[in-house]
Amino acid sequence: MDSSIGRKVWVRVLAVLQGAVLLSGWFFAALILGFTIKSELQPLLAMFLASLLAVLGLVVHEGGHYLGARLCGMPVLLARVAAVEIQVLRRGWRLRWSPQLKRNRLGGYVLAASNPQRPWRGQWMVMVLFGPLLNLLVGAVAVALGLHLQGVPGAIALAFAVSNLSTGLGNLIPTMRVLPSDGMVMLGWLQHRDDQRPELAQARLLALTVAGVPSAELPQSDITLLAAGAMPEPLIAFSYRLNARQDQGDWPGVLQMEQELEQLLADRAAELTGMSTLIELLRGELAFSRAYLERSVAPMQAVQINADTDWFAPWLRPRGEALAAFLAGDRQRGEEYLQQALRAAGNSQVLSQGRSEALLAEQLRALP
């Protein structure tokens, strides 16, 4: 009992310390700018510039994680800096303005998949460390510039240095809020010895699908582990099974999963906060499958594909339009939509998605 209380106190102390370190960067940056830049807009101008430099420091931080991941051959899927979300594609990238819910607000993150050809411990430690290390490196360079330059340029350089140093040091403190800090993740990987641990099932499946392994060939033991886990893992396990049946052309089997999804959602209703996009994506795939089997567009018309679904699965809407065109007898228009879906899936970092979409395209082309 005493050890549990002591642990909670220690966790709280570390969280307060991290908040103080991060806030001090913004405070001292604003102080430096406020005393140097003479303006009638002070102190608001200094506060605004300090906030802008803090965002730039966050860009440096997430850029460090990205560079670390790429150095280890890890495919990067998604990144966020404040309210800007960036989707990394095989050719180019997409971005959107995507404010977060206040209770789940994150400064930023980089979502990468493990490189299955290398031991996980080393690659993840490099990726995690590169974020704060790049902050500290940029901060040191900015200090040198700030001491060399005079006036406003020197003040801006020093303020940027303070912002980077506080971001780097603050993220090295092991804490757990919405997501674990870099320091907390580092502690976990320092103790890591087994890439086959049950809690890494989702990461193993992601690494395989990104590398191009079809859903039907994924380890069933890992899918079973996901199905028994906390949300959203059961929904992700469901999506792998659904995709496998679609790839195999088992459309009656897919339709049997409709009731299974609704039962799963009913059983886990208290755990579904923030999962609406994944749920709508699964319902969209089930509606497409029913439309294909029944040769009717009505099931697809009953499901709304929103902007979030388009963002994460840009192939779903044109594939549905292709099916509608084929059913209407307009094969030329159907093929145009199919090409849109194939281009979107083929440009995804998840290589298995392109292969899956190609199999579905062949099944649509075979429609009478």
Task: Name the token pair of 257.
Answer: 């999963």
* CA dihedral of 91, 92, 97, 99, whole degrees rounded to 10: 60
For residue 264, what are the CA distances in angstroms to 12, 61, 132, 239, 259? 36, 38, 40, 12, 9
3-state secondary structure the chain: CHHHHHHHHHHHHHHHHHHHHHHHHHHHHHHHHHHHCCCCCCCHHHHHHHHHHHHHHHHHHHHHHHHHHHHCCCCEEEEEECCEEEEECCCCEEEEECCCCHHHCCCEEEEECCCCCCCHHHHHHHHHHHHHHHHHHHHHHHHHHHHHCCHHHHHHHHHHHHHHHHHHHHHHCCCECCCECHHHHHHHHHCCCCCCCHHHHHHHHHHHHHHCCCHHHCCHHHHHHHHCCCCCHHHHHHHHHHHHHHHCCCHHHHHCHHHHHHHHHHHCHHHCCCCHHHHHHHHHHHHHHHHHHHCCCHHHHCCCCCHHHHHHCCCHHHHHHHHHHHHCCCHHHHHHHHHHHHHHHHCCCCHHHHHHHHHHHHHHHCCC
Look at residue 1 and tell me whether its pLDDT is greater than 60.
no
pLDDT in tens, 59-100: 999 999 999 999 999 999 999 998 999 999 999 999 999 887
pLDDT in tens, 343-362: 999 999 999 999 999 999 99
pLDDT in tens, 247-290: 999 999 999 999 999 999 999 999 999 899 999 999 999 999 99
pLDDT in tens, 104-148: 566 899 999 999 999 999 999 999 999 999 999 999 999 999 999
- Residues 55 and 52: their CA atoms lie apart, in Å, by 5
**What residue ranges do the domains of the chain occupy?**
2-190, 198-365
- pLDDT at position 270: 94
Residue 214: what are its φ and ψ, rounded to 5°? -65, 155
* Average pLDDT score, the chain: 94
Look at residue 6 and tell me whether its pLDDT is greater than 80.
no
pLDDT in tens, 180-220: 999 999 999 999 989 999 999 999 999 999 999 999 999 99
**Nearest residue to 91 (alpha-carbon basis) of 356, 355, 347:** 347
User: Which residues have C-beta within 8 Å of that of residue 174, sequence separation ≥ 6?
Assistant: 14, 180, 181, 183, 184, 186, 187
**Nearest residue to 123 (alpha-carbon basis) of 195, 30, 18:** 195
Q: Where does residue 295 fall: left (phi above 0), alpha (psi -120 to 50 degrees), or beta otherwise? A: left
Look at residue 2 and tell me whether its pLDDT is greater than 70.
no
- Does a cis peptide bond (omega within 30 degrees of 0) precede residue 43? yes
